[in-house]
Chains A and B, each alone.
Chain A
Amino acid sequence: MESKNKNNHSILRIEGLKKYFPIRRGFLQKIHGWVKAVDGVSFEIEQGKTMGLVGESGCGKTTVARLILKLLESDAGKIIFQGHDIRRFSEKEMKPYRKEIQIIFQDPFGSLNPRMTIGQSIEEGIRILGNKHATNRKERLETLLSMVGMSSDSSDRYPHEFSGGQRQRIGIARALSVEPSLIVCDEPVSALDVSIQAQIINLLKDLQDQLGLSYLFISHDLNVVGYLCNTISVMYKGHIMEFASSEDIFNHPHHPYTISLLSAIPDPDPDIKWHVKPSNGHIGDSDVVPEGCKYQDRCTIAETACLKDKMVFEKVRENHFVRCWKAAKNHGSSPD
């Protein structure tokens, strides 16, 4: 973040992270263009806090997650984790940090090995951590299972014997097995039913309180993000459009995209009449990126300047940044 004050309590700081995917066409598979999936993303997660990353499908949320975990090699920028820039770390240098950052996936059906028992899946992490004694491992396994609210006799069963919510608990136990300090949650509750979703959200919160975990919570569901997260980054076509505390995003949104996203949530409170201000169109292919602001074609307040000028991330107040010169100007603040 260009103008953000450096906070010592941050566990993870991303600066100008970029990932372009080549578009290859034709017989020779020549590079035809680039999909700018992540185009200069910066944010910060404080120790023991939760940051939400929201945006529509295709905006680059999951790519950011994979870059942080180094499941994908990024093209530029910095990934500063606990004070070290791990972006260019080799596999060997990375090893001590691997256990620190874990991920929970969206699909609890696809992310567990069907041929391994639950116990084997979770124990793998404990073993890698260097716990050599089988009895100690067994003890740890039982603690982990009880932490996520599962009985210890489930460790000998296979993933297909469990429901979606139980599998998500197993996924969480597996992530916890190596004692991480940061967990990337990639849409962890999107595939679950409402009543189960609440159980998992409560569990994530409890674990954070107990273990002091930090979360990067990726979701398209603004209600969940608003409930769970301390700060929120709103992402659109590879850019962060707005960053603020959860309260500010919901009560004082500045960017026209954030405003349109919020107005699109149908509220289950019948007192609030639902006024849809559908933004025009839909999120397009990322390979046809316009010059200037990336949101220009759907924006209701766009002017000619938006078509050419590159948008900068401006500070509108303490801890509230927006990538829209009009919104920043309207709220009477000077860019710094």
Chain B
Amino acid sequence: MTHDRPLLCVENLKVYFQSNGARAHAVDGISFEVREKETVCIVGESGCGKTVSALSILGLIPTPPGEIVDGQIIFSGQNLINLDEKAMQKIRGNHISMVFQEPLTSLNPVFTIGDQIGEAVRTHQQIDTEALFQYCVQLLNDVGIPSPKQRINDYPHQLSGGQRQRVMIAMALACDPDLIIADEPTTALDVTVQAQILALLRSIQKKRSMSVLYISHDLGVVSAIADRIYVMYAGIMVEQGNTDQIFRSARHPYTQGLLASLPSPSKRGKRLHSIPGTVPNPAYKPKGCPFHPRCRQKILSCQQEYPGMCDYGEGHLARCPVLFKPKGYPG
């Protein structure tokens, strides 16, 4: 299903924010790639730098206070970090588009949804009004809005949360992008609507052979849609692998802890595992491994040395040398 050619390749990306004297290392040297036709998920808790990574791909980091300090973002052979604003606008919405978490705040309340979907097309292509109207109706139809010819003149407040998110997806699809970045698109929705939106994303991706970079904190959603998963903690990638590797044989204590702390009816009566403590403030991260203050398996060196990536083979990497046993090692 997936191709091996990387469409997007992020290398050693560092994004820092200046806040009240202290420098917050929001994203601290992450690398990941999205291949063609692939769904890649970035999972992590709030404040781990997921959204900042997504915004920096599109050049949407507010500067100041934010700053991309180091790294490169290679998309179809060009480094997006070096592009000027004009060149970036050609990519944004056209080749890479984004679906945000809160559809009500990301849609403009004083324009009809038709205007807003058409805007991206008008910006990037020469198209006459009638053709544009037909195209927008088609898009609304594709994302499952009933009677699109009438709804196209609706304003965002006339739609329900799920329908607004469908409109956001239609906007993202408008220019037939190669990559859609979806930042928690279903977090604000009810489970039944969430299931509809996920099914929609999946079918559209298949039909249009796009890549999707999906950002979420919900491990259930991630296991349902991901081809490959990156687990982020405090600005770094702690583990990466395919869905099976992450959910069946997680190697990093953080990933293991996250999975064990999910409540479910099958765990009734048993005590839930919980990770003690809280996520560190990105401006005052602990030295060494950023997870060590909450880790039950830490050793002395965790407090001093920044952990390296350990390779478990077949693309499964985890940043925990303590638990690492090379292949063939007994036990």
Q: What residues make up the interface of A, taking CB atoms closer than 8 Å to B?
A: 56-57, 163, 165-166, 193-199, 201-202, 205, 220, 222-224, 226-228, 246-247, 250, 260-261, 263-270, 274, 276, 278-279, 282-284
| Chain A residues positioned under 8 Å from B224 (CB to CB) | 266-267, 274
CB of A227 within 8 A of CB of B160, answer no
Knowing A198-B261, A198-B275, A201-B263, the reply to whether A264 touches B194 (Cβ < 8 A) is yes
| Residue of B whose beta carbon sits closest to that of A222 | B191
A223 to B272: give the CA distance in the assembly, Å.
12
**B265 in the interface, Cβ–Cβ < 8 Å?**
yes
State whether A228 touches B220 (Cβ < 8 A): no
Q: Are A282 and B160 in contact (CB under 8 A)?
A: yes
Secondary structure at the B interface, as helix, strand, loop or mixed, is: helix
Chain A CB within 8 A of B147 CB: no
Report A122 CB to chain B, min CB distance, Å.
21
* Shortest distance between the CB of A39 and any CB in chain B (Å): 20
1/0 contact string of B247-267 vs chain A (CB within 8 Å): 110000000011101111101
Least Cβ–Cβ distance between B92 and chain A, in angstroms:
30
Given A278-B192, A282-B193, do A194 and B45 touch, yes or no (CB 8 Å)?
A: yes
Q: Which residues of B contact A267 (CB under 8 A)?
A: 220, 223-224, 264
Residues of A within 8 A of B279 (CB): 193
B268 touches A226 (CB 8 A): yes
| B256-296 CB contacts (< 8 Å) to partner A | 257-259, 261-265, 267-268, 271-276, 278-279
Given the contacts A227-B267, A264-B191, A266-B223, A198 and B199 also touching, CB distance less than 8 Å? no
The chain B residues found within 8 Å of chain A, CB to CB, are: 45-46, 160-163, 190-196, 198-199, 217-224, 243-244, 247-248, 257-259, 261-265, 267-268, 271-276, 278-279
The one of A197, A222, A276 that contacts B195, using a Cβ cutoff of 8 Å: A276
| Among B195, B198, B262, B275, contact of A223 (Cβ-Cβ < 8 Å) | B262
Q: B220–A197 contact, CB under 8 A?
A: no
For A196, list chain B residues within 8 Å (CB).
278
Of the candidates B220, B267, B275, the one whose C-beta lies within 8 Å of that of A195 is B275
- Closest A-chain residue to B144, C-beta based? A278
Q: Which of B222, B258, B263 contacts A224 (CB 8 A)?
A: B263
- Complex formed: what's the CA distance from A228 to B218 in Å? 19
Bound together, the chains give a CA A166 to CA B279 distance in angstroms of 12
Q: How far is the CB of A75 from chain B (nearest CB, A)?
A: 27
- Pair B190/A246 contact, Cβ less than 8 Å: no
Q: Which residues of chain A are near B198, meaning CB under 8 Å?
A: 266, 276
- For residue B186, give the distance in angstroms from its CB to the closest CB of chain A: 10
Q: Does B263 lie within 8 Å of A268, measured CB to CB?
A: no
Q: Are A223 and B258 in contact (CB under 8 A)?
A: no
**Given the interface contacts A227-B272, A276-B195, A276-B198, does A265 sit within 8 Å of B263 by beta carbon?**
no
Contacts of A268 in B (CB 8 A): 219-220, 222-223, 247, 259, 262, 264
B275 nearest in chain A by CB position: A195
Given A226-B268, A270-B247, A194 contacting B190 (CB threshold 8 A):
no
Contact B274 A195 (CB under 8 A): yes
Inter-chain contacts of B261 with A (CB < 8 A): 194-195, 197-198
Given A201-B263, A268-B223, A270-B247, A278 and B190 touching (CB < 8 A)? no
Contacts of B247 in A (CB 8 A): 268-270
Contacts of A228 in B (CB 8 A): 263
CA A216 – CA B21 in complex, angstroms?
A: 45
Residues of B within 8 A of A269 (CB): 223, 247
In angstroms, how far is the closest chain A Cβ from the Cβ of B168? Answer: 16
* A196 and chain B: residue at smallest CB distance: B278
Chain A neighbourhood of B271, CB < 8 A: 202, 205
Task: Establish whether residues A195 and B258, one from each chain, have CB atoms under 8 Å apart when the complex forms.
Answer: yes
| 10 extra A-B contacts, CB within 8 A, seeds A199-B276, A269-B223 | A198-B262, A198-B263, A201-B272, A224-B263, A226-B268, A227-B267, A268-B222, A278-B195, A279-B192, A283-B190
Inter-subunit contact A193/B192 (CB<8 Å): no
Given A266-B221, A267-B223, CB of A260 within 8 Å of CB of B192: yes
